[in-house]
Amino acid sequence: MADPANTRALLDQPLDAFLAYLADERRYSPKTVASYRRDLAGLRDWLLAKALNDWSDLQPAHLRRYIALRHREGLGSRSLQRLLSATRSFYRYLQKQGRAARNPAADAVAPKAPKRLPKTIDHEQIERLLAIPGNDPLAIRDRALMELFYSSGLRLAELASLDRAALDLSAGLARIEKGKGAKTRIVPVGSKARQALHAWLKARPDLMRGETDALFLSRNGHRLSHRAIQQRLKYWAVRQGLDQTIHPHRLRHAFASHLLESSGDIRAVQELLGHANISSTQIYTHLDFQHLAEVYDKAHPRARKR
């Protein structure tokens, strides 16, 4: 029977050499090396507990069981991904040293992390946010900016890059030339947003400094930056007494979830958001099961009451 102390020493020798290689030759940060040490030490202890006496004894099936165990113990997806990354790197090192014939982590994948639903804003909070007081050019601009954000569900980059010529207020449309994936789409502009934009276009010359195509201008006459838009949303959320931080994606999410709650038409919301895949739109849904059950009862031919 193998001496556990000797077995551990045999496992530690290549592990210590690998960590020294990362620190001395690859110039990894001390924090990264410490993370690799912690992850691989846990795997080493599991090998010892399973009477696997050499790193080359670890098979893909063994590693899958170990990952499943750590997942059950509560280790998160990102931590498991880091563990697998450390294991792959270590076994690539062992292969170069002639101490392992294969990399058991080559095809291993960590459990996917559940997608986090963005926090939503209810209708009352949206109304409060958009009731921006004042008739100075900056207040008028900010009202128009936020009304358009919420009205059309734009991304931050899309709003910031929007030109004056992209608006057709008589038709209630905006042309988004370079959305995500460099795709062009047409989005509707609601009546409240059109009113706010009309007011802004009258005030816009007060901020112009020479020729510019940008729809939204800073006080210096330049195109309003991403950072400036984020700061204005944050400022007005505090000023209007909202109890949560408002950032651009919150307004896009509110647009999607409120429209979906009213219409139930996820395909239409997908098109308006500019999502290539319906799976991207599904994270915006907050339809409860009762609503889904009602839709099912009305629509499914084997569920309708006769």
Active-site residue flag, 21: no
Which residue is catalytic, options 66, 93, 150, 284?
284
Which two structure tokens, joined as six digits, stand for 217? Answer: 């201008």
* Contact criterion met (CB below 8 Å) for 169 and 151: no
Active-site residue flag, 178: no
Which two structure tokens, joined as six digits, stand for 72? Answer: 């059950």
Q: How far apart are CA 89 and CA 282, in angstroms?
A: 36
Active-site residue flag, 36: no
Residue 242 DSSP SS3: coil
Amino acid letter for position 5: A
Q: How far apart are CA 207 and CA 122, in angstroms?
A: 33
Which residue is catalytic, options 180, 185, 223, 247?
180
Q: Residue 174 CA to chain centroid, in angstroms?
A: 25
* Contact criterion met (CB below 8 Å) for 62 and 104: yes
Which residue is catalytic, options 178, 249, 298, 304?
249
Closest CA to 48 of 12, 87, 86: 12
Which residue is catalytic, options 92, 155, 192, 286?
155
Active-site residue flag, 300: no
Amino acid letter for position 96: K
For the chain, give percent helix, strand, coil, nearest 5: 60, 5, 35
Active-site residue flag, 249: yes
Active-site residue flag, 223: no
Q: Which residues make beta-bridge pairs with 187?
A: 174
Q: What angle do CA 197, 245, 215 make, to 5 degrees?
A: 20
* Contact criterion met (CB below 8 Å) for 102 and 237: no
Which two structure tokens, joined as six digits, stand for 220? Answer: 């210096």
Q: How far apart are CA 170 and CA 131, in angstroms?
A: 24
* Contact criterion met (CB below 8 Å) for 147 and 193: yes
* Contact criterion met (CB below 8 Å) for 142 and 236: yes
- Active site amino acids: 155, 180, 249, 252, 275, 284
